[in-house]
Structure 1
C-alpha cells in the first residue's frame, strides 16, 4: 500500500492569499509543508525568533526527510554596516551580528526552536546562507522574498509576497502572497524563473549581491542547543501565539525617562504648544533643552493618540547627520527605537515600510523617523510621506533651515501636528522664508530668551572678554578693495544677500568677512590667551572657514585652523584635536567623549560643524577667532558654551574683533561700517555677561571715535 503523501498538485493551493480573507499560515504554508520534500526560501530578515517560528512548520516536514535551504539578511546595526564599509572583515562582523541573536536571554520556546534547527543542521537537513547588497563599496539590506516548494514528482510551487520568516511576517502582520504552480499554464514560466533566481542566489551568481555561509560559531551554538534539548517537541502553528514572545518591535511606547524632572518652563512650553492645537514654534535659547522639550510634547501627544486608539508617526527633521544621531539617542531614552533616515535608502526604507505597516495593523503605537534635511527632501522619503495615512507630527530641529523655497515645498500638508524648534527662527535676509515657516508651523507658542535662561539657571553665567586686533596694511587694503566692489554691485542693483552661494555679491561679502576672520594678529593674541590658560581643560577654539583671502592672482593664504593647531599642539604642547566637516562620525563621537571626560583632550579646534546641535556642555572656555555677520551663528556658539554640566557654573568667552589700524586711517565711513559689524556682536555678548563694564571700557575709545555710542 502506497503511504507516500499526495503531491503538490493535490494540496488545493490557490493563486493568491491575503490576511484580510484567511489565515495565510494555516491555509497555505501548512498544507504545502505536509506534502513537500524540499523547500527553498529567500527572505529579508534573519532573527532568532524567526528561526524558532520556522521550526514549528518544519518538524513534520523534516520527519518525512524534507530538506531546506534558507537565504536571509542578518540583522545588521548601523555600526555593523559602517564597520563593513570601512574595511573591517565582513565575516567577523557577520559573526558578531549573528551571535547577538543567541546572546540575550531567551524563553524556553525560543531555545527549543533553535535547538530543533540545530539538530536539523547537524543532520544535514537545513542549510543557511546570508545575503547582502554590495554595490560601489556600500552595504545594503537584502529584502527579496521568494520561496519554492518541491515534491517527489518534481512538481514545484513558487511564491512571492510581503511576508518574512519572522513572527510578525508569518503570524502578526497583514500579509499577501502570490502563488505560481509549475504545472499550470501561465504560472509555469513564473515558477521556473523564481526557481532559477533562487539557485543563482544560492550559488552567489547574482549581480550586486554577496552570499556568505552561516557563521560556523553560530552554527555550532545552534547544534549545541540541539544536543542540550534533545527531547523538545514544539506545538503546531495553531499554538504559536501562546508560546512565542511578543515580536521584537523595539521599544514601542513614548514615555518620560526614569528620573527625569520636567522643568517648569518646559511644561509651560508644551502646554502652550498643545494650546495651539499642536502647532507652533518654540523659540528657546540654545542650551535650554529644546530637544527634550519637543520629546515631552511628543510623549503627551502620543498619550492622547493612544487614548483614541490611534497610532502616531513622528518625523524629526534635522540639518546634519550628527544631529540625527543625537536625536536617535534622545528618542531611545524616551522608550522608542527610532529609524535614522540618511544616506542610502536601501538601509532605511525597508525598516520604515515595515514599521509603518505594523502601526497600521495596530501592532506599534508610535513610529519615530529621524531624517536629515537632504533625505527629507529626497524623492524616496517624500514617496513614503505621500503614502502615509497615519496621524503625523513633524518636528523641525533648527527649523530656519527649512525656510528655503525648495525645502519648504517638501513639508507635508498632511501633517496634523507641527512643531518647529529654533533659537533664531527668523531667516537672515529672507522675510519671505520666515513668513512661510510661520505659515506652515504656526506662530511662536513659547519663547525663552538667553537673559531669562541665565536668570533661572537653565544656562550658566559667563565672562566676556573682547580682544581688539588691528588689521595689517595688506588686510586693510584688501578690505577696502572688496568694499568698493560690493558698493559697485549694490549700485548696479544686486541684492545684499550673503547666503546665496551663486550670488556675486554674496561671494564678495564672504571674502570681506574672511579678511576680518583671518586677521593675522588674532593668532598672536590667541597664543597669549591660551598660554595664560594652559592648565585649563574643556576649551574650544572656533576658527574662520577655509583659507585667508588673497589678492586676485595670488595663491590662497594660510589655513587658520592649521595655524591654531600648531600653536596649541606644537608650541604650547596642549592635547588638542581638530573637529571639522571631514571628521568621520565615529571619530566625532570619540572626540566628544574624550573632551567631556577630561582625560586626555584639553582643546577642540573647530569650524562651523560645532555651530548647531552638538552637545558639548562641559566646554568652559571658548575662543571666537571668527564669526559671520549672521547673528544666528554667534547666538548658537554662545548657547553652546553656556550649557550646564556637573561641576560647571561659569564660562568664559574670548572674542577676537578685527578693527581698523590706528595709525593708518583708510576711510571713515568704511571703518565705521566695519566696526558696526564687529561691535554689534560684542554688545550682544557683553550686555548679559558678568563683566559688562569691562566690555564697555574696552570698546569706548573706538565707539567715541566713530560715533558708535548707541551700539
Structure 2
C-alpha cells in the first residue's frame, strides 16, 4: 500500500520508476527536482574528472544552501603508468594523489574553474566529502564502474537509483542514458532502496570485498579549497543544476591542424607533392623528420576538400606493431579526431567500426578514423569491412616497406581512392618484386628528404660518429673460418641466394657468421670503457645483437649479449639500466620510455631489435650499436632514433662496433672482402654526415687498404 504523499520533500515529487533518454529529460525530470527538496545526496559513480566535479557543484548549490550535504565516491582516472606502479608495489596513496592532481590540472576555463571553486567552498564548509574507489584483487588493479545514488530529505524519506548515467557532461546532457528509481515509501521499492543505501554505506566505510575506498588526497582537497577562496569574488555558479553549458559540439569530428603546431616548409612541400599526384604516392623522409604529422596534415587537407563536396572521409592507418598504433592514436587525437584502435580482440573494435561507418552512411559523421596493426589489417574481419566501404577511403601505411611482403601486398584495398606510404627506406632489402609492388599500389616517391638535408635544415640534430674496430678472438676466429669455408662451398656449387634473411642453406650460414661478428666478445670490453667514460650522462641506448653467441655444431650456444650488457652497465658500473625487448609487455614499455625521458631515473635502455621502427624517444643522445646489421633499414632507423630533436638537445653521439677477423686468418680473400664491403658501407654512411668524418676516414683507412677498398 502506498503512503499518503507529503506536501514537501521527496514524496511531493511526481517521480517515475524509470527514466530513459527517449522518454524524458533525466536532468529536468529527476535530478533537478530531487536536489531542490533533498537534504543529503550520496553518489557512487564512474570516473573522477574536473568537468564532472564542476557539474556537481552546479547541482548541489541549492542542497548546500539549505544545510544539506553530499558524499561522493568516484573512480580515480588511473592511466597505465599508475596501474603498473601500484601493481609493482609503489605507495598507492601517492599514485592516487598523482592521478587526482592530473585530473584537476585544467586549463583556465572559467566555468570549470568556477565550479571547482564552489566545490572547494563546500568542502571547506563541511558540506561535501569525496572518496576514491578502485578494484584491488590478487595484486591486480581495476576500475570501479558501478553507478548508484541516494537522496534523503528532512522527513527521512529515501529515493535510490541505479543506472547508466555518469554525472559528466556526456552522461547527463549528451548521451543516451537510463536510470531505475526506487522510492522508499512505495511497496516493492522500499527494500531495494534500503539495499542500495546499505551498499553505499559499506562502500563509504571501505567494507566492500575486492574494493579499496580511500579518502580524498589532502593535497587535492587543499587545492580545491584554495581555488574556492581565490574565486569568491567571481559570479557564483548558476542554480540551474546540471543543465548543459554552452559548448561547441562536433568539434572533435573533423580533422584540423592543432593551433600549437608549426607546419614546416618541407612538410608543406611533401603534402603539395602528394596532392599533385592525386592523393597517391610515397613520402621517403628520414627517420625523425615528422612523417606522421606530415601525413596527418595531408589527410586534413584532403578532408577539407571532401567536406566542400559534402563527402565523408574514411581514414585507415596501418602500422606494424601495437605500440605504434598507440602512438598514432595519440597523434590523430591531436588533430581533433578520436580514432578506433584496431588490434587484439575484434569484440573491442568491431562494434565501434560498424557503428561509425553506419553514421557516415546516414550523413551523421564526416570522418571515421581507424588505426590497425598489420596483423589486424590483414585479418578476415577487417578485410571484409574494407571491401564494403564505398565512401572516399585514404590508406596511410606507416613503415610501408613491411606491406611489400607477399603476405600483405595482395590484400591492400583496391577501393582506396587515396593512398599514402611512409618510410625512410621504402626499398625492400633483397626484394625488388616487393618494392615494385609498393610503387604499383601507392604510387611513386612524391617527396624525398634525406638525412643530410634534414640535419642541414635543423629537422634533425648533428652528431659525432665513433667506429670501434674489434678483432675476433681465437675461438671466434676458428668458427668464423669454418663458416666461411661452408659459405664458399655454397657459392662454388652455384648458389646465388645470398640474402641473409632467406631460409636457404646459404642464408642460414650467412646469418650464423654475422652472429659471430655481432656477438664478438671484444665488443663488451670496449663498451665497458665507452659507457664507463659517460657514467654521469643520461639518455643512452645500447642496441644488442639478437639471440646468443653462435657456437660449433653440437655445442651449446654462448652467452646472450643483452645479459652481458646488462651485467656490465647495471652490476659493474652501477648505472640504472633496463632491458627493452620483444617480451617486454606493452604497458611496461610505456613506463620505461617515460622513465628514460625524465632524465633522472634510467640512464641506459638496453634494446634488442625493439627500438627499430617508429618508437618515439627524442631525448636519446648516445647510442651504442653492438649488433652488426648490414640491413640498411635497421641501421638507418637506429641512427634516426638518436637524431630526433628534443628540448635541450642539439647533438648526438653514435658508437658503432665493427668486428673483423684478425690479420692472417685463413679466410678466402674475396669472400672476406665482400663481407667487409657491407660493414664499411654502413660505416661510411654513418660517417659522411657526421661532424667528425675525417677522424672516421683516418681510423678505417688501414682496413680499407688491407682489403683493397680505398674507393669506399
Does TM, normalized by the shorter one, top 0.5?
yes
CA distance in 2, matches of 1:449, 1:316: 24
User: SS of the counterpart of 2:47?
Assistant: coil
TM (norm. structure 1) is 0.70
Residue 284 of structure 1: how far off its partner (Å): 1.4
Q: CA RMSD in A?
A: 6.4
CA distance in 1, matches of 2:660, 2:559: 20
User: Could you say which residue in structure 2 is the equivalent of 1:85?
Assistant: 87
Residue 230 of structure 1: how far off its partner (Å): 12
User: Could you say which residue in structure 2 is the equivalent of 1:294?
Assistant: 295
User: Could you say which residue in structure 1 is the equivalent of 2:16?
Assistant: 13
Residue 515 of structure 1: how far off its partner (Å): 0.3
User: Could you say which residue in structure 2 is the equivalent of 1:160?
Assistant: 163
CA distance in 2, matches of 1:432, 1:195: 69
Q: Conserved in 2, the CA contact under 8 Å of 1:8 and 1:156?
A: no
Q: Conserved in 1, the CA contact under 8 Å of 2:673 and 2:707?
A: no
Q: Conserved in 2, the CA contact under 8 Å of 1:550 and 1:556?
A: yes
CA distance in 1, matches of 2:452, 2:656: 19
User: Could you say which residue in structure 2 is the equivalent of 1:634?
Assistant: 635
CA distance in 1, matches of 2:385, 2:199: 29
User: Could you say which residue in structure 2 is the equivalent of 1:52?
Assistant: 54
CA distance in 1, matches of 2:188, 2:410: 46
Q: Conserved in 2, the CA contact under 8 Å of 1:45 and 1:165?
A: no
User: Could you say which residue in structure 2 is the equivalent of 1:514?
Assistant: 515
Aligned mate of 1:170, from 172, 178, 182: 172
CA distance in 1, matches of 2:460, 2:101: 45
User: Could you say which residue in structure 2 is the equivalent of 1:26?
Assistant: 28
User: Comparing 265-274 with 108-117, which one deviates more in the overlay?
Assistant: 108-117
CA distance in 2, matches of 1:680, 1:319: 28
Alignment pair present for 1:73 and 2:75:
yes
Q: Conserved in 2, the CA contact under 8 Å of 1:257 and 1:335?
A: no
User: Could you say which residue in structure 2 is the equivalent of 1:285?
Assistant: 286
Residue 401 of structure 1: how far off its partner (Å): 4.5
Aligned residues: 690
User: Could you say which residue in structure 1 is the equivalent of 2:549?
Assistant: 548
User: SS of the counterpart of 1:420?
Assistant: strand
Residue 270 of structure 1: how far off its partner (Å): 1.0
CA distance in 2, matches of 1:112, 1:492: 81
| Residues 292/119 of structure 1: CA separation in 2 closer, same or farther (3 Å cut) | closer
User: Could you say which residue in structure 2 is the equivalent of 1:269?
Assistant: 270
User: SS of the counterpart of 2:54?
Assistant: helix
Q: Conserved in 1, the CA contact under 8 Å of 2:539 and 2:596?
A: no
Q: Conserved in 2, the CA contact under 8 Å of 1:168 and 1:247?
A: no
| Residues 534/218 of structure 1: CA separation in 2 closer, same or farther (3 Å cut) | closer
| Residues 523/206 of structure 1: CA separation in 2 closer, same or farther (3 Å cut) | closer
Q: Conserved in 2, the CA contact under 8 Å of 1:565 and 1:576?
A: no
Q: Conserved in 2, the CA contact under 8 Å of 1:338 and 1:370?
A: no
| Residues 461/132 of structure 1: CA separation in 2 closer, same or farther (3 Å cut) | closer
Q: Conserved in 1, the CA contact under 8 Å of 2:612 and 2:634?
A: yes
Residue 419 of structure 1: how far off its partner (Å): 3.7
Q: Conserved in 1, the CA contact under 8 Å of 2:118 and 2:228?
A: yes
User: SS of the counterpart of 1:611?
Assistant: coil
CA distance in 1, matches of 2:615, 2:213: 39
- 1:347-388 Cα shifts (integer Å, max 9, x gaps): x99xx99x989x999999999888877898999999999999
User: SS of the counterpart of 2:46?
Assistant: coil
| Residues 453/63 of structure 1: CA separation in 2 closer, same or farther (3 Å cut) | closer
CA distance in 2, matches of 1:59, 1:644: 50
- 1:655-705 Cα shifts (integer Å, max 9, x gaps): 54444444242446754554455355356556777559769954554544x
Residue 169 of structure 1: how far off its partner (Å): 2.2
User: Could you say which residue in structure 2 is the equivalent of 1:557?
Assistant: 558
CA distance in 2, matches of 1:434, 1:193: 67
Q: Superposition pairs for residues 458-497 of structure 1, below 5 Å?
A: 469-482=470-483
